[in-house]
Amino acid sequence: MTVLGIETSTLVCGAAVAVDGLVRAEATIELRNAHAERLLTLVERAMEDALVTVPEVDGVAVSIGPGSFTGLRIGLSTAKGLVTAGEKALVGVPTLSALARRAASRGAVLPGERVMAVLDARRGEVYCQFFVLDRGDVVPEGDVQDLTLGALLDVIDDRAVLVTGEGVATVRAAAGTSRRYEGIRYADRETARCSPGMIAVMGGEMLASGVRDNPSTVEPRYIKEFFLQSR
């Protein structure tokens, strides 16, 4: 199965092509407010590097949220346009699940650790979700939450946890050097970044299992009310 993956939920903007679960090509930039201008160019580059044409793509996977309101709208509208033009399958991949899966795939999670994927939600808040490892895969432990930093640290408390995602620096600064949070480890920058390659791989798995989203009705998973944030 050949899947085009699109990531625009954070500062990372990019596209990747995965063929039978392996990333064949990936093109990304990290530049604020450039998603609308650069995304289609990155899609074209990833497909050219993968030696894949539009008719050969079985489906399009897009990071569905939470994340940047503007970025999510750009990514989903681009994905909708691509599947409508080519009559391809569309699937939205949960952003925090993709972040946790990336950490696990890079061997960053220690035995007994949970993974907490965290994205900045502005106004002193974060989007976050716990995951546990199950035979190499990541399984959500509870729903996505929108928490203040203080509430997030109360949830973590003294548990052994790997924090990953764009919110790593924010959580590190809030936890400081308190011995209460000695169980927290932080993913390195490369592990913590959102990856269109992981979106493509997970999207392929979802499509293979029969998961599809309706391009006419699917919407980003904002978590917050739309009017509260402009980014």
Instruction: Please state the domain extents for the chain.
Output: 2-95+194-228, 96-192
Q: What angle do CA 160, 126, 132 make, to 5 degrees?
A: 35
**Of all residues in the chain, what percent carry a pLDDT higher than 70?**
97
For 162-184, give the DSSP string: EEESTTHHHHHHHHTT-GGGTTE
pLDDT of residue 227: 42
pLDDT of residue 32: 84
Matching fold, domains 2-95+194-228 and 96-192: yes
- What the block records as the tokens of 139 is 């399984």
User: Tokens 């976050």 sit at which residue?
Assistant: 128
Q: Is the pLDDT of residue 112 over 90?
A: no
Interval 194-210 mean pLDDT: 97
For the stretch 67-111, pLDDT in tens is: 999 999 999 999 999 998 778 999 999 999 999 999 999 999 998
Architecture of domain 96-192: 2-Layer Sandwich (3.30)
User: Tokens 């220690």 sit at which residue?
Assistant: 110
Of residues 34 and 135, which shows the higher confidence score?
A: 34
What are residue 148's DSSP bridge partners? 125
Q: Are 202 and 62 in contact (CB under 8 A)?
A: no
Q: Are 60 and 83 in contact (CB under 8 A)?
A: yes
Strand order in the sheet with 161-164: 137-148, 125-134, 114-122, 161-164, 184-186
In CATH, 2-95+194-228 is 3.50.50.60? no
pLDDT of residue 167: 96
Strand order in the sheet with 12-19: 22-30, 12-19, 2-7, 59-65, 89-94
Q: What is the pTM of this model?
A: 0.94
Q: Which helix (H) or strand (E) holds 65?
A: strand 59-65
Q: Is the pLDDT of residue 231 over 60?
A: no
